[in-house]
Chains A and B, each alone.
Chain A
Amino acid sequence: MSKVYFSTWRGEQINNIGKSDDAWEKSAYNLPLEYNEHAHSKAFIGWDGVALFNPDVDVVRLATEYAAQYQVYSEACGRCAPGRWGGRILYDLLDKIARGEGSLSDMEHLKEVSRTMQETSKCEIGKTVPNPLLDLMTHFESEFVACIENQKPSKHYHLEDTSYIAKITAPCMDACPAHVDIPAYIEGVRDLRFDDSLMATRQTMPLAHTCGRVCPHPCETECRRTNLDEPISIMELKRLGADYETDHGFGFFHPSEKKPSIGKKVAVIGAGPAGLTGAYYLALDGIDVDVYEELPVLGGEVAVGVPEYRMPIDKYNQDIEAVRSLGVNFITNSKVTADMMRRFENEYDATLVATGTRISKKVYCDNERQEIQGYWGAIDFLDKVNLQVKYDIMVPEADQKRHMLPADFVDLTGKTLVCVGGGFTSMDVVRCAIRANAKKVVMLYRRDEKTIIKNTTYEEYHEAVEEGVEFIFHSAVAEMRDENDVLKSLIVDRYELVPDPNGGRPNLEKIEGASFEMECDYLIPAVSQSADLKLLPEEWEIERTSWATIKTNGKDYMTSRKGVFAAGDCEYGPMTIVNAVGQAKRAASVMSRYVLNGEISLTDDEIMEDHLRKLKVYDKKEKIVGWLPGLPRQHSEVLTVDERRDNNREVKYGFTQEEALAEAERCMRCYYIAMVAH
């Protein structure tokens, strides 16, 4: 709810003109009333309407400036006849009226050009730029006509008292934590300009191979095409640009040229998605970066957590090499300690902590003791599997013994493995266990099938079932039973959903007498992970969140210690790759300014990005016009169960060119321009 003077946002009709301040009707939307801590907004104008926060706004100038932004921002567009010329005419005519030289026929021409743009433009910018302009011309017609009749400039035309800040967005870009310019990379595929596609992705997302495979794609949930039929297969289209670069042995297509060194140094702790991303953008900005990695290999959880069949290491290594190609210095086998952090504070201009969450949480059952053989944390289990599969790093002898392995790799022949989880990590555990030849693999999950699909993906769940994983829903481990510290069986409780008599959310309640005992050799807890923050010197008293991660304001990612930044899972808690990328990209941007002037600041683009995310760009109720429904979403081929269950071949083939083009053709290029006047 926002207090506004006037608003047509999303079709609302709020008109407080002439009413006293305290009688103002409120807008239903999270409009950006405060631009930042220093400035109140005067108006917000965008694809779906206009809102004025202040009676003194010069609406004629506002309209002119919005049309001007379309010209300024046309590097994102300008690719169709109605948009290119229409946009220019809109601006020229509005400016003519605003400077006091307009005529009434200009108003008619504005309306006519607007209609053609709305009907025929290629992308939503061209289609929607006229919307708020027509709103203003309708509701404030007298102000326009006054300029024309008096041949006088509009009231603030010659005053430089207002800043106009605009930003290009799209529903998918807004939903993506890394704000990847999705329409641009899809357009690159559509136009068969795969280098352009990749460079569009890399503007905010260096891990194109990776996030073309293992991203949970929140963008697809907010894809506007959903309103028409099915969302675009956004994630997979990312692979085409990345594959083009790799297949043809090009160097690396970076989004911009690396700046010459500015003589500043940053330490990045952790070479996972957040660390790599931070390093990439810092290096592009001409900052020398040292990345410290505890493991012998680079890549963090995507390397040692995500299995080969989902994320082939040769592809991930391409992403990592793209980072290295900017001169980033990687130091492996180097676990950073509090002492080192104290030293870093002097040696580096800033530090980015991106250590992830690598401690497996307990399942909280009776007799849950670390020393029981067969009790094996998911993170460590996946480490051992992946280090061997991807890097031929075998399981050390002590660990073999500890985990009752017959050989120096994870071989589960004849064994029963039970995993407790429900998220991506647990899926990785059970499917790796199948590939390690386990006799029986069981997943216990507290909630139902629908929820596990929601928490992961339909494909992931479906493929696991196909491969022979047994899912027991509404269940939880009550007790571990051992003999001489060797796991023998589990007592499993069953639950059911009991409707709340008061109409609230149904409760999970244990079914008495339904518990059963289940023999097993391994219990893998994969419920969640926590961060190991021992590297933060205690005396720095770095603030933590209530779930024991590093606290920042979620905007500039600086911790309570000046110069120490944090991004990724160690800041947010266990979350997605793309979330880590988005945070680290922002952190790198803030850090690149911080190392120069010691100040924490956000760019206008970043401020607008946050405002729009709060407002939410995607409108699931919107009715789509101008696109034909019923063109099916493409699905790429996957290996059959027999082809995949005993090996680590990548399960998904990825799109054929034909599928990719058909899919890219479905994208509606939903770019929008939003603008704040302050």
Chain B
Amino acid sequence: MINFTINGQPVIANKGETILQAARKAGFYIPTMCYLEKTTPCASCRLCVVETDKTDGLILSCQTPPTEGLGVTINSERLEQERTNIMRLYDVNHPLECGVCDKSGACDLQNKTLEFGISSQHFSAKDQHRTIEHWGLINYDPSLCILCEKCVHVCNEIIGDDAITLQFGGYKSSVIPKNSDALDCTFCGECIAVCPVGALVSSDFQYSANAWELTQIPATCAHCSAGCSLTYEVRHTSNSIGAKAKIYRVTNDFEHTTLCGAGRFGFDFAVEGTKEESEFAKAIAALSNASAIRFSSFITNEEAMILQGLKEKLGLKLYNEEARAYQSFMSAYASISGKTGFGGSLDAVRQSDGIIVLGGRFTSDNPAVRYAMTTAARHRGAKVVYMHPIEDELLQNVVTQFVKYEVGTEEGVVAMLAKTLLAGADLSDEVAAFFEALDEGYLCAECNVGDEEFARIAKSFGRAKSKTLVIGSDVLNHKRSANIARLCAMVEAYTEFSVVVVPSNVNTIGVSLICDLDVDNGGENVVGYNASGDYTMGSIGNVNLPLPSLNQQEGTFVSINHQVLPTNVAVSYDGYTLNDLASALGLKSDNTIDYTHKLPLSKGFSAVAFDNLGNFFTPLGEDERGYRLESIDVEASGTLEEIEDLPEFNGSVVYHCNPVNQFNGYTARTSQLEKEAMLRGSAQFAAAAKIADGDKIRVEFPHSTQERIFKLDSSLKGTIALVPAYDVGFGGLNEHYRFEKVKIMRMGSES
């Protein structure tokens, strides 16, 4: 703690905090143009200069920590004069196109120009010709760019794409794609979000609306389990009476949160619905006769409550294999840890200096996990071990050790990993004996991971102080998932590691907590809700009764952080809701969100009404959205089972894995996101399957058959191909183990 003063008032800074951070916390205003809370200081605008009693000359508050007893002055005539001159410089030759600029009305340059009262151009310099760049979803206008470097910092430090850089050239400087002619990135659009002016804009949104015309709807992203905060910005599409509002764009509180491309650009997945009584009656009939409801986890907690209520009321079964797998995994996990849920969070990952990630392809499964890893790697120098059968090129600048294991051997890998991490821990005799008895030679040989690789993990984590183990969804549907869960729980229970088990879908955790799920044995008269069935309803696919999608509903999700997060209606819906159906069936409730405060306390929910849930970040970045689930103590009676013989996967193997920014049927139908639904494989895979780039092929899975185009992908190595799932059926990923043996037949070439 450092005591100092600002304008004579005492202020306290924590170790590592800068003068600017301490000032903001204490409520002082120091102007900035380039400062971004979540990255290292760009230090380019120089507006945040201050005076002190220990220095001659002005010092930069964004990058200077205070010293004990320092007296800082943040307003003075001299400071005002220099800051005004800096703003005058920013305004030199800045195009006067505010009338059409996307940023107008929400532009930092506009705001500061007004703040400093600059009404004319004070200095002059020769103007220069600048060319607007078109980079797909992103447009860049260098003449509007003030070179604050926020975009460059966020792309490298938070996202990890490291796709843009500053081309130094003094007055001619500009932002350019790094190491390529065109922008080659995952199109998260975070650069657009942080741009303080109109230099980087969404090409879709450009010239379509003014900032002040848009209504902002705070919501939670409905694409994956990260529960990212976002704002749907909506406006009526015309002035005619009855014109519906549509979403024009998605923005985020970029100082404190980060969005992936799907969250930012994949917002147009709302459905149309009308109220037709005959259709409603058919739905009621189908539900009344149903033996089961099959549903996916693209629903709110409140809807999950309704489904559970229907189960109890009508005596039907609830099918959701994906959530059930998660439920069983976490139940086995709790049998060791003695409490519900896992201990880690995305924040824990971000703060880590040692991270192990296993069993998932996080760049596409859950980009927020990737961003947390990037943040830890850059800011904490985290050692990151990635364990998976397939290397991920996008993670190269994050991962410090890639450990490749054989498909299907996760149980052996996790056992060896647990043994490595538990070395020296105070284990019970029984557990110690279990690890002692592991046949390391066999496990290492079958997993194809050398013991030196485990030794290297132990060594590189030697100095780490905060460590996280991230478990992906590969293991959830593994035959041995329960034992894998118990092994992972051992790591959390007996080491300093916190664990995160990444849920597959938006509200997998919520569903798995609220619903009492049954084994899906099929059966007759199954009603599908956002899933297949004899009668179907929902917001996806060709359904018998449309119901609103997740950006048309109020309700809550449970995120990977065990946070209960509210979401709101961005686009209105004129048809029926699940609550209408349930009410007609005797489960009466005025609104779906009347269930919010009835969510089960026994699972850690709190009795808070929907309207009392916060949905914002404070200016200092404290997350005031919803509330955190409580962890409930349970009996820890689980014991480790002996490791089974490890399976072998020979021949052609594919991995169910979506391309970046695609998650499910919802993202699949949005207009901006790229939809390249090909089977992607390495040259080695192509040779083994006797296929070539562009071939039309038939892929025979154990449960189904698909026809796909094969794409040769030079970034891939090895004998496993990637097959997307977002465009198939209801877009459900992870109902089966994600690797499958397939038969591949060439049917011809693309043309």
Contact = CB atoms under 8 A, between A and B. Distances in A.
A319 B89 CA distance: 44
Given A84-B147, A661-B40, A662-B16, A191 B153 contact: yes
Interface stretch (B45-53, B315-323, B721-729): B45-53
Contacts of A627: 55, 57, 59, 64
Contacts of B49: 119-120
Contact of A630 (B47, B57, B67, B89): B67
Interface string B621-644: 000000000000000000000000
Interface of B: 16, 33, 40, 43-47, 49, 52, 54-59, 63-67, 70, 82, 85-86, 89-90, 92, 123-126, 146-147, 149, 153, 156-157, 162, 165-166, 168-173, 353, 378-381, 383, 396-400, 402, 463
A71 B16 CA distance: 36
A82 B55 contact: no
Interface stretch (A246-254, A276-284, A364-372): A246-254
Contacts of B157: 192
Contacts of B378: 192, 657
Contact of B171 (A85, A122, A631): A85
Given A71-B171, A92-B125, A248-B399, A81 B156 contact: no
Nearest to A189: B40
Most buried by B among A74, A116, A625, A629: A116
Contacts of B400: 247-248
A631 B86 contact: no
A74 B70 contact: no
Contact of B89 (A75, A81, A193): A81
Contacts of A83: 170
A483 interface: no
Given A628-B67, A665-B64, 18 more contacts: A74-B171, A76-B168, A81-B44, A82-B86, A85-B125, A88-B92, A89-B89, A89-B124, A116-B89, A119-B49, A122-B44, A192-B153, A192-B378, A250-B397, A629-B67, A630-B67, A653-B463, A657-B381
A190 interface: yes
A660 interface: yes
A626 interface: yes
A74 B169 contact: yes
A629 B59 CA distance: 11
Given A88-B170, A657-B381, A81 B65 contact: no
Q: Give 4 nearest A-B pairs by CB, closest first.
A: A74-B170, A657-B381, A625-B57, A626-B57
A86 interface: yes
A32 to B, nearest CB: 26
B199 to A, nearest CB: 14
**Per DSSP, are chain A's interface residues mostly helix, strand or loop, or mixed?**
helix
A193 B58 contact: no
A124 to B, nearest CB: 12
A77 interface: yes
Given A85-B125, A628-B67, A193 B169 contact: no
A157 B691 CA distance: 70
B113 to A, nearest CB: 13
A85 B169 contact: no
A631 B52 CA distance: 14
Contact of B16 (A74, A82, A109, A658): A658
Nearest to A113: B123
A623 interface: yes
24 contacts: A70-B170, A74-B170, A74-B171, A74-B173, A77-B170, A78-B169, A78-B172, A79-B147, A79-B166, A84-B173, A85-B92, A89-B89, A119-B58, A119-B82, A191-B40, A191-B153, A247-B383, A248-B398, A249-B396, A625-B56, A627-B55, A628-B54, A628-B64, A653-B463
A658 B57 CA distance: 28
Given A89-B125, A657-B353, A82 B46 contact: yes
Contacts of B156: 191-193
Nearest to A630: B67
Given A74-B170, A88-B170, A628 B70 contact: yes
Contacts of B40: 190-192, 661
Interface residues of A, number: 52
Nearest to A123: B43
Given A84-B147, A120-B82, A656 B381 contact: yes
A347 interface: no
Contact of B149 (A79, A109, A249): A79
A405 to B, nearest CB: 31
A214 B521 CA distance: 68
A323 B537 CA distance: 65
A662 to B, nearest CB: 7
A132 interface: no
Contacts of B165: 193
Given A82-B46, A122-B44, A623-B56, A87 B123 contact: no
Interface in A619-678: 623, 625-631, 653, 656-658, 660-662, 665
A610 B65 CA distance: 38
A579 interface: no
A543 interface: no
Contact of A88 (B63, B82, B171, B383): B171
B43 A122 contact: yes
Given A79-B168, A89-B123, A629 B55 contact: yes
Interface of A: 70-71, 74-89, 92, 109, 112-113, 115-116, 119-122, 190-193, 247-250, 623, 625-631, 653, 656-658, 660-662, 665
Nearest to A627: B59
Given A84-B171, A88-B171, A120-B46, A628 B381 contact: no
A357 B695 CA distance: 64
Contacts of B63: 665
A627 B59 CA distance: 6
B59 A626 contact: yes
A118 to B, nearest CB: 9
Nearest to B123: A89
Nearest to B40: A192
Nearest to B59: A628
Given A192-B379, A627-B59, A77 B168 contact: yes
B380 A85 contact: no
Given A248-B399, A625-B56, A627-B59, A78 B171 contact: yes
B515 to A, nearest CB: 43
B86 A88 contact: no
A87 B378 CA distance: 33
Interface centre among A120, A248, A661 (most CB of B within 10 A): A120
Contacts of A660: 381
A630 B58 CA distance: 16
B396 A658 contact: no
A657 B173 contact: no
B58 A120 contact: yes
Contacts of B463: 653, 656
B457 to A, nearest CB: 14
B89 A82 contact: yes
A247 B65 CA distance: 30
A638 to B, nearest CB: 12
Contacts of B169: 74-75, 78
Nearest to B383: A247
Contact of A116 (B57, B86, B381, B402): B86
B124 A92 contact: yes
B153 A250 contact: no
A626 B58 contact: yes
Contacts of B124: 89, 92
Most chain A Cβ neighbours within 10 Å, of B45, B59, B67, B123: B123
A532 to B, nearest CB: 41
Contact of A120 (B52, B70, B86, B153): B86
A52 B627 CA distance: 72
Contact of B86 (A76, A81, A247): A81
Nearest to B396: A248
A514 to B, nearest CB: 48
B471 to A, nearest CB: 23
